[in-house]
Structure 1
Amino acid sequence: MAAGREPKVAHRRPILAFVVAAVVAATTAAIPATAASADPAWLKRLFTQEFEEDFQRTAQGFTPNHWPNSSGQQARWVLSKGEGVRDSAGVAGGAQRFRVENRPEGADVHLVNPHSFVRGQAYRVQFMARAERTTKVDLFLRRDVRPFTPDASKTIEVTREWKSFTFQGTYTAAVAGSFRIGLQETGVDVFIDRYAVFRVTGSDRIAPIDIPAGMDATEQTTLVHDVDFEGEYTHGRYARGWQPNDPSNRADAFEAGPETRAGYFVDGTTSQRFKRETYVADNKVLESRAELYYSFTCQPKKKYRVTAHLRADQGQTEVPAQFGVRRAPEPYTFLTVRNLKLGGSWQPVEMDVVCVQRAGTGIQLRLTVGQVDKNIYIDDLTVSEVHDNPAHPVGTGVVSDNLFGIHSPLMHNPNWRWPALGQHVVRLWDTNTAWRFLEKDQDVWPWDDGQYGKRLDQTFMKKLIQTRNTLDPKLKIVYTMGETPNWASSKPDTPNFAAAPPKNDEDWKDYVRTVARRYKGEIDVYELWNEPDAGPRADGRSFYSGTPERMAQLARLARDVLDREDEEAILVSPGITTGGVSWLDRFLAAGGAEAVHGVGFHWYFGTNPENVGYIDNIRDVMRRHGIEHKKLWNTEGSSSNCVGGVGPCLNDKVAVCLKDGACDAAFCAAEPGNCREVNAVERRSAVARALLLMAGRGVENFNFYTLEGSHDAKLLESAATSDYTTPSEEGRGYSAAADWLRGGKVLQSYIIRDDIYVLRIQQGAQQHSVLWTTGEGVRVRLPQQWNAGQATTLAGTRVDISADRELDLGLEPVKIAS
């Protein structure tokens, strides 16, 4: 973190041992001003500061980095130009003066000299220092973002005489860092002069990063925000840090203010009150859509825990309220949310969230009441960063064969065949086999001569059952229900009739019963609906226009029918998009949690499958509804960016952004050089990394979209005209990952320094490891316990591990035989 806020550390997580060298030497002899010409050959000078230029607070290259304690109290410090080392003629130059006046417990300030350090490289700083009295000074070589674990640290003693100090360490982070100076005592002036930073070249060999054999999953927390709702309220209405969001921009649209009545605060004397109201505009009575929000720093891929207490007025019951973590800009999707029913006593609320937004995207806590003219109250809000092993395996079972699934909408091709990619599941979607195609007229099911009934019966089901009987006995079929026919729709006279739920429950039950009876023992999994939370597409249509509560009713009806007709069939909740956690929360609360066997979601990961926080956020919603034991089905997803415009896309191909910006298809098309198409390694590795990470997160099923077709990510090359045997780069990555995971258990999974990923997998009596890095290529040293023998890439290239156990890692995962 650059100069600014660095929160109080409430608990420290375990620190892994890395290659670190720290050397500090001190001499009393004055040294002449340093000069590059006098540097030894093995030191390359990167930065020099003699402090001779004019400056008021800090010399060029230096800045203070300060952070408050949990109560918001800051340290007070002084930075200015002081008197430096005297030359041979007795003339004093300039120096950097640093003094901490006051330091409340938990708050502090460092004098920081930031640099773009290279991971694995050793660096040295040389400087002279003195103090107005003997004092202790802390030196750090450290990254500037969490975790704030130093690569090198040392405490030196600075006296009233100028002394020369040398401090050295090997930098191991993949992000920018700094040399830092911290003062142990307050009220003491410390002066720095003749400061220089060097890269230690030696043989110019970058030291390898040691890979630990495992990682402790112990959970610790760091308090980031603590809002007690005491003190002065802004405009007499809003507690510290809270603001209103009111589309009507009317003062009479809502009420907010401090509440001090007895019983209406948890601790202290005050809570925040909030109420939406009606107002008149254009001779119409309208309901306010006002909300309260609190902005907080939510680092991408980091996990946070939010706690608060909420209540309604005394005597009230089931007052609806929504409290969640949401993106500030469009699309206004929640990362996690609680849809609550509040009563007249305080209700503790807790939710975990992994921040999955792009860097720089604002994140807010959002609070609103779902009913006008009802007060709600909030008190004792905390936000803590959760430090654990974010990649720790979920569950201890064998990786499911169901993880390896596909979509194959071109199965009607005469040259279609079952490709040898390791897949065991086919999801029927974009196959024109949903309800509106099968029963265009009530009670008319043209299985033999109708276009779509015959298509499902004679093309898809016939070929898949033949494949199951002859090639793959593990093959599972996922059938996605929904899409109401016009005659059964609750909105039959609209272009979007298929998205409306059926008006008659019996019509829905008859549909489920007919399909279940016909394909008993053949269709294994029924997915309730496709992407019910997704907004309208370009044509104005959506997949579902009803409420989550109505969908929960349909789920209960479908479960009752399936239990009678095919008790082995699995019912999975509708496959929500990555923005659908609020929809899922309402669906589960309305009875969906009990009705389904598993929870469905869709995840298009592009070139960033490491952003698995989407999965963790869904799991947290499941946990809050008591169904964390149920299976999680990623029924649709891929490395595609162009389908639905979910990410960077260039020339109808998956792309990566080269410049800062929105990083979507429009950004890529706006100016040449904004983006580039992905290369073969990126195509191959994204799919493999996603499968490996989903296996570690305990995901039951993933159906790649698609096997063939014209989309920007597919598993086969030219499938429409080929013999279905030539895999694409995505297909090669898919097949290799399936081979590395099939029948195995993920014993350990962890991340080193934010961008080195490690999985330990047991397959039968054999163990192997899979490693990759999302940062710049890096050299690592494998743990001796692994008895590493050979490394294999996704492309099948094999390399013997050298005796020093060192290996160069890149974006493409490598399998290490043990």
Structure 2
Amino acid sequence: MYLPPEDARACPPHAPTGLLARRRVSLAALAARWSPLEASKPWLASLALCVAPAVGMSADDSTGVIELPASSAAAAAPANGRAAPLRAAAVAAPLTPKVNAWGKRAPKFQLEGPRTLASAAAAAGSTNGEGGAQQALRFRVIDRGDGDAHLTFPYPFKSGTSYRATLRVKSDRDAQVDAMLRRDVAPYDPFAIKSVKVTQRWQTVELEGTAVSDAPASLRLASKTLDAPLWVDKVNIEAIEGNPIASVNTDPIPDEFFGVHLMRLGSHQNWPSFRPGVVRLWDTRTTWKDLQPEPGQWDFSGPGWRRLDLYVNHIRKHDPDTKIIYTMGQSPTWASSQPEWRNGYGLGHGAPPRDLEHWRDYVRTVGKRYAGKIRYWEVWNEADYSAFYKGPVETMVQMTRIARDELKAIDPANQILSPGLTAGQGVQWLDRFLAEGGGKLVDIIAFHWYYDVKPESLASPIRNVRRVMQKHGVGDKPLWNTEGSLLCNAKVQNCKPIEFSEAQLRSHALRAMLTMWNAGVRNFDYYFWEGRLPGEAMLERDYKTPTLAGRSYNKAVEWLRGARVVDAYRSGSDIYVYRMQRGDQPFVIAWSLGPETTVRLPAEWQVGRAAKLDGDVERVPENRQVKLGLDPVLLQ
């Protein structure tokens, strides 16, 4: 397909469909001749194309130098009065309902009504007496079989974009329904969820969430009440405008943000040079199964207690102000409600105790022994993941209440962390935990976010968790990432063997930490200092010499500690800009995900030097042009 210059036009603000193809072309070339724009699908006749500068940047076409905007406001404005950013043309596309059914013994269901539902805008003028559209869907699950059936509305969600979905629902009798925006491929994780009590009167349901990938996804309804007819109409999905990396945390980055796991004490007695503000104890062989392998006795001379003493004393010797997170759990086999079930840690360790008084005794015993030394208590590790917890949410809420009662009685300053959850099913599990009253029992919400070579993608799942917290009235509580680090993602790179470039090893920690802090995370406990895998380890095998990743992490902490984010934005889709300030000293951290790009810095920044994580420092030339790549640059 060819697009002559006279056909170039500004695009409407948003569309319900995503781009199928995009190519950056020279404006001079467009003015001189037709420029080829190829799309990946043959049905081009139904598409509209439009051309504009990349978002938040302008370019000197003769040199290819990008003029970097000075602020998020400047980045959001049309570049030099030119057309709006490249977007798909707005089309009021209908949403096609489908049923997603699974199970070896097939579920039975009924779906009646129109084959498509018009957008809310199109349906607004055509209503019945109760405010619903003249035509509505009727969906009923008669028998789940050994699976289930959901009513779905597939939609081309785009990673990193926030969406609002609205629909109207009612039922012929009271029913419980889960509405969600969810990926339709593994790990089948929702990025927005709401439980709704549906009655015989129409009600509007609204969901907001940020897509975490470009994978197939849908708005879906899961009825929890068998044989209750569910009526649905006025279904609409729209993208939400706004700065996708607008800063949530604007106060100075505290010591407690920089946490770590130590897991090889005994093989060494060293201490991180970056002075961690938090150490989390996990995979240290110090959980309940290690402390009380036999019922009815507490042997403080046993190996589990000696090891826990070793860690607590080591941390306090090097820095008494370092906060210690003790992660509770792992029921001994004798106390387990499922003693024959084996997970990666042994028999019964992932199941809750059969008698919660045993749990109470364990919590009280550990709490008293380390009173004043350990003040941060995480209730369980990854309770949403069946490899670590095989029990109902309601039982975990009971265990959290017991832990809070016992630990606050010992020391009111003790802080209770919710069970750390994974990026897989954690959003749905947290929603249920908070709905059952768990949010009132904890002081801090804990999550586990690992990341791949594009840690900027962490912003979307973090925003989704914060929405769940806000929905349940705990949005003001701190959100901590108590476990995470760089992992190899086979979907985006070769992982056999695991290989990372030097730029990836140098840059990942700083990019991840800035993304997390900016999105609202107040603690990040790197897993783990000694490391096992390429890219993860901060130390060589002598447990003294820092690796490239370790040296870069140390430098990243030096850049960030005590600084605050003044402004954060993207210039185009590839360049990330964080305007920072430490005391009265402003500085900027910037990088590019694309090929190395020459940018011209705004004159109002008044920067004179450019530093990199490898320690290299250069003067900014008079023309204010610098190169940005994957390695972040500190401009001051």
Per the normalisation by structure 1, the TM-score is: 0.67
What SS does the corresponding residue of 2:24 show, helix, strand or coil? coil
Cα distance, 1:258 vs structure 2? 3.5
What SS does the corresponding residue of 2:455 show, helix, strand or coil? coil
The answer to whether the 8 Å contact 1:421/1:731 transfers is no
Q: Relative to 1, partners in 2 of residues 1:516 and 1:107: Cα closer, same or farther, differing over 3 Å?
A: closer
For residues 709-747 of structure 1, the C-alpha deviation after alignment (integer angstroms, 9 at most, x for no partner) is 32233343324x24x2x2212212221221111112111
User: Which of these residues, 136, 156, 159, is aligned with residue 300 of structure 1?
Assistant: 159
The answer to whether the 8 Å contact 1:490/1:502 transfers is yes
The answer to whether the 8 Å contact 1:217/1:388 transfers is no
User: Which of these residues, 3, 16, 32, is aligned with residue 126 of structure 1?
Assistant: 32
User: Which of these residues, 219, 222, 226, is aligned with residue 365 of structure 1?
Assistant: 219
Q: Relative to 1, partners in 2 of residues 1:755 and 1:343: Cα closer, same or farther, differing over 3 Å?
A: same
What SS does the corresponding residue of 2:240 show, helix, strand or coil? strand
1:407 counterpart residue number: 261
| CA distance in 2 between partners of 1:421 and 1:782 (Å) | 31
1:255 counterpart residue number: 110
What SS does the corresponding residue of 1:522 show, helix, strand or coil? coil
2:81 counterpart residue number: none
Structure having the higher helix fraction is: 2
Q: Relative to 1, partners in 2 of residues 1:97 and 1:559: Cα closer, same or farther, differing over 3 Å?
A: closer
2:206 counterpart residue number: 350
What SS does the corresponding residue of 2:590 show, helix, strand or coil? strand
| CA distance in 2 between partners of 1:620 and 1:222 (Å) | 28
For residues 40-88 of structure 1, the C-alpha deviation after alignment (integer angstroms, 9 at most, x for no partner) is xxxxxxxxxxxxxxxxxxxxx4279xxxxxxxxxxxxxxxxxxxxxxxx
Q: How does 1:331-730 map to 2 (within 5 A)?
A: 331-357=187-213, 359=214, 361-413=215-267, 415-448=268-301, 450-457=302-309, 459-469=310-320, 473=321, 475-496=322-343, 497-535=348-386, 542-579=387-424, 580-611=426-457, 612-641=459-488, 647-648=489-490, 662-663=491-492, 668-669=495-496, 677-719=499-541, 721-722=542-543, 724=544, 726-730=545-549
| CA distance in 2 between partners of 1:613 and 1:640 (Å) | 18
Cα distance, 1:664 vs structure 2? 6.7
Q: Relative to 1, partners in 2 of residues 1:223 and 1:509: Cα closer, same or farther, differing over 3 Å?
A: farther
1:735 counterpart residue number: 554
| CA distance in 1 between partners of 2:556 and 2:147 (Å) | 52
Q: Relative to 1, partners in 2 of residues 1:146 and 1:593: Cα closer, same or farther, differing over 3 Å?
A: farther
Q: How does 1:312-331 map to 2 (within 5 A)?
A: 312-314=171-173, 316=174, 319-331=175-187
- Code of the residue aligned with 2:265 in structure 1: it is M
| CA distance in 2 between partners of 1:355 and 1:693 (Å) | 16
User: Which of these residues, 304, 311, 317, is aligned with residue 170 of structure 2?
Assistant: 311
Q: Relative to 1, partners in 2 of residues 1:227 and 1:209: Cα closer, same or farther, differing over 3 Å?
A: closer
| CA distance in 1 between partners of 2:50 and 2:318 (Å) | 54
The answer to whether the 8 Å contact 1:578/1:614 transfers is yes
What SS does the corresponding residue of 1:702 show, helix, strand or coil? strand
| CA distance in 1 between partners of 2:594 and 2:291 (Å) | 49
Higher relative contact order, chain-length normalized (CA < 8 Å, sep 6+): 2
Cα distance, 1:598 vs structure 2? 1.5
The answer to whether the 8 Å contact 1:222/1:384 transfers is no
- Code of the residue aligned with 2:566 in structure 1: it is L
Cα distance, 1:416 vs structure 2? 2.0
Q: Relative to 1, partners in 2 of residues 1:354 and 1:142: Cα closer, same or farther, differing over 3 Å?
A: farther
User: Which of these residues, 588, 598, 604, is aligned with residue 785 of structure 1?
Assistant: 604
| CA distance in 1 between partners of 2:6 and 2:624 (Å) | 47
Q: Relative to 1, partners in 2 of residues 1:518 and 1:292: Cα closer, same or farther, differing over 3 Å?
A: same
Cα distance, 1:766 vs structure 2? 0.9
What SS does the corresponding residue of 2:559 show, helix, strand or coil? helix
- Code of the residue aligned with 1:464 in structure 2: it is I
- Code of the residue aligned with 2:24 in structure 1: it is F
User: Which of these residues, 591, 614, 617, is aligned with residue 798 of structure 1?
Assistant: 617
Q: How does 1:47-86 map to 2 (within 5 A)?
A: 61-62=1-2
Cα distance, 1:756 vs structure 2? 0.7
What SS does the corresponding residue of 2:317 show, helix, strand or coil? helix
Cα distance, 1:207 vs structure 2? 2.6
- Based on CA coordinates, which of the two structures has the bigger radius of gyration? 1
Cα distance, 1:676 vs structure 2? 7.5
Cα distance, 1:127 vs structure 2? 5.4
| CA distance in 1 between partners of 2:48 and 2:399 (Å) | 45
| CA distance in 1 between partners of 2:578 and 2:74 (Å) | 14
| CA distance in 2 between partners of 1:107 and 1:765 (Å) | 40
| CA distance in 2 between partners of 1:766 and 1:142 (Å) | 48
For residues 659-716 of structure 1, the C-alpha deviation after alignment (integer angstroms, 9 at most, x for no partner) is xxx4476xx54xxxxx982111111101110011112122111111110032233343
Q: Relative to 1, partners in 2 of residues 1:355 and 1:266: Cα closer, same or farther, differing over 3 Å?
A: same
Cα distance, 1:530 vs structure 2? 0.9
| CA distance in 2 between partners of 1:465 and 1:549 (Å) | 36
Q: Relative to 1, partners in 2 of residues 1:118 and 1:690: Cα closer, same or farther, differing over 3 Å?
A: farther
The answer to whether the 8 Å contact 1:253/1:288 transfers is no
Cα distance, 1:115 vs structure 2? 7.8
Per the normalisation by structure 2, the TM-score is: 0.85
| CA distance in 1 between partners of 2:423 and 2:579 (Å) | 28
What SS does the corresponding residue of 2:148 show, helix, strand or coil? coil
Q: Relative to 1, partners in 2 of residues 1:356 and 1:147: Cα closer, same or farther, differing over 3 Å?
A: farther
Cα distance, 1:779 vs structure 2? 1.1
| CA distance in 2 between partners of 1:287 and 1:710 (Å) | 40
| CA distance in 2 between partners of 1:581 and 1:304 (Å) | 16
What SS does the corresponding residue of 2:521 show, helix, strand or coil? coil
Q: Relative to 1, partners in 2 of residues 1:559 and 1:311: Cα closer, same or farther, differing over 3 Å?
A: farther
For residues 77-120 of structure 1, the C-alpha deviation after alignment (integer angstroms, 9 at most, x for no partner) is xxxxxxxxxxxxxxxxxxx999xxxxxx9999xxx9x884368x
For residues 427-463 of structure 1, the C-alpha deviation after alignment (integer angstroms, 9 at most, x for no partner) is 1011011111111122422222x11111112x11111
| CA distance in 1 between partners of 2:287 and 2:627 (Å) | 49
Q: List, as ranges, runs of 4+ consecutive aligned residues in structure 1 with deviation greater than 6 Å.
A: 105-108, 139-149, 216-228, 249-252
Q: Relative to 1, partners in 2 of residues 1:147 and 1:586: Cα closer, same or farther, differing over 3 Å?
A: farther
What SS does the corresponding residue of 2:53 show, helix, strand or coil? strand
For residues 213-259 of structure 1, the C-alpha deviation after alignment (integer angstroms, 9 at most, x for no partner) is 3337999999978789xxxxxxxxxxx50011222599981122249
Cα distance, 1:172 vs structure 2? 5.4
| CA distance in 2 between partners of 1:797 and 1:97 (Å) | 48
The answer to whether the 8 Å contact 2:22/2:37 transfers is no
The answer to whether the 8 Å contact 1:604/1:640 transfers is yes
1:87 counterpart residue number: none
- Code of the residue aligned with 1:305 in structure 2: it is R
- Code of the residue aligned with 2:463 in structure 1: it is D
| CA distance in 1 between partners of 2:105 and 2:357 (Å) | 47
Cα distance, 1:405 vs structure 2? 0.8
Cα distance, 1:375 vs structure 2? 2.4
* Gaps in structure 2 of 5+ consecutive residues: 41-46, 78-83, 115-126
Q: Relative to 1, partners in 2 of residues 1:147 and 1:277: Cα closer, same or farther, differing over 3 Å?
A: same
* Gaps in structure 1 of 5+ consecutive residues: 1-60, 65-95, 99-104, 129-138, 153-169, 174-199, 229-239, 280-285, 536-541, 642-646, 649-661, 670-674
Aligned residues: 595
Q: Relative to 1, partners in 2 of residues 1:699 and 1:217: Cα closer, same or farther, differing over 3 Å?
A: farther
The answer to whether the 8 Å contact 2:107/2:148 transfers is no
- Code of the residue aligned with 1:515 in structure 2: it is V
Q: Percent identity?
A: 32
Q: Relative to 1, partners in 2 of residues 1:382 and 1:425: Cα closer, same or farther, differing over 3 Å?
A: same
Cα distance, 1:265 vs structure 2? 5.6
